[in-house]
Amino acid sequence: MKTNLLKYYLFAVTSMFLWALTFIWFKKAVVWYEPVTIIFLRLVLASLFLYGFARLSRQYEAVKRSDYKWFMLLALSEPFFYFIGESFGLKYVSSTISSAIIATIPLFSPLAASVFTREKVTPFAWLGIIVSFTGIMLMVFNRDFSLNAEPKGIALLFLAVFSAVAYSILIKRLANKYSALTIISTQSLIGAIYFLPLFMVMDFADFITIRPPAGVILAIVQLSVFGSCMAFLLFIMVIAKLGMIKANLFTNLIPVFVAILSYFMLAELFDAQKIVAIMMVVGGIVVAQTREIKELLKRRREKPLLNSR
């Protein structure tokens, strides 16, 4: 059973890489469209794709009436408040720093988990969180300790952080009752409904006059398919298997991936300080998973002995 953890670790890393790419795709799209338009289109496309796939694959599940209140709260935390915070925050803060702030989610998750889901926080997990968070701070602050970002952008991004923590708490209530496909398709549809009034009031008049290039359209499709569908499907399975604290710890990988991708795709600065910060982020994740890694290696060593008997 422990060997199955490798699969979920792979799912976690893959979802973080896909979410890292969303920071790049969003930066391309926001040149032409306002954040609300991008979010609304992203959720509409995701809903159509997921519901179509569920119907064709015969995996569609009807949601019980008693659970709709939880789905409405789930969609309110994420995608609604999360995307508002993240998307508007990205207008004022660079991709790398934005992703670093988003990666503070594990710092707040243990407290929330201990209160709401009664998950235990191991000393290794706390140590890993501290090491990773220190690495993230190296990304956010310059060498003279000045903050390389606008305060309002940081405030919006922390709205996204707290929304993600709330999402992780709510998802535990639904992850064992419904498939990841059902959860994501339902939250995307409700999220699109939440954003519809904002889109109509704030952006619709401009939206119908814009003729974006093919690259911008592709970026929105990528945000929908990979960011709102595949990454969420994988991450829900990870939360159900590893728990809220350990699953959210992998979000520390997002600024690592974003820093690398931004260097190659957006020409953002990638200096020695950022390299050290990335090493600390990854090191913190490894430390936090020390107990699970030891148990996994022990089981792998014991398996050949069992098979030889």
User: What is the pTM (predicted TM-score) of this model?
Assistant: 0.77
User: Is the confidence at residue 168, as pLDDT, over 70?
Assistant: yes
Q: How far apart are CA 211 and CA 189, in angstroms?
A: 26
Predicted confidence at residue 74, as pLDDT, reads 94
Q: In the prediction, which pLDDT does 117 show? A: 62
Contact 93/101 with Cβ under 8 angstroms?
Answer: yes
Better-predicted residue by pLDDT, 18 or 94: 18
State pLDDT tens for residues 75-117.
Answer: 999 889 999 998 888 888 878 778 778 877 777 776 676 666 6
> Stretch 194-205: mean pLDDT, rounded?
95
- Judged against a pLDDT cut of 60, whether residue 1 lies above it is answered with no
Amino acid at 274: K
Query: Higher confidence at residue 307 or residue 110?
Result: 110
pLDDT for residue 296: 55
Instruction: State the pLDDT at residue 92.
Output: 85
pLDDT of residue 305: 47
Candidate from 57-71, 141-155, 168-182, 191-205 with smallest mean pLDDT: 141-155
pLDDT of 309: 43
Percent of the chain scoring above 70 in pLDDT = 85
pLDDT for residue 101: 80
Binned at pLDDT 50, 70 and 90, residue 237 comes out as confident
Cα-to-chain-centroid distance, residue 150? 22
The pLDDT value given to residue 97: 77
**Parent domain of 92:** 2-307
- 267 phi-psi bin (left φ>0, alpha ψ -120 to 50, beta other): left
pLDDT reported for residue 194:
96
**Rounded Cα–Cα distance for residues 307 and 51 (Å):** 44
Least confidently predicted of 42-56, 111-125, 290-304: 290-304
DSSP string, 96-124: HHHHHHHTTHHHHHHHHHHHHT-----HH
Average pLDDT over residues 262-269: 75
pLDDT at 304 over 60: no
The alpha carbon of residue 255 and the mean position of all alpha carbons in its chain are separated, in whole angstroms, by 11
Query: Is the distance from CB of 82 to CB of 216 less than 8 angstroms?
Result: no
Contacts 24+ apart (CB under 8 A), 297-304: 299/2, 299/3, 300/3, 303/3
Mean pLDDT to the nearest integer, 161-167:
89
Total residues belonging to the chain: 309
Residue 287, both tokens: 């430390």
User: Domains in the chain: how many in total?
Assistant: 1
Q: What is the pLDDT of residues 26-64, one digit of tens each?
A: 988 989 999 999 999 999 999 999 888 888 888 878 889
Residues ≥6 apart with Cβ < 8 Å to 97: 139, 140, 148, 149
pLDDT band at 240 (very low <50, low <70, confident <90, very high): confident
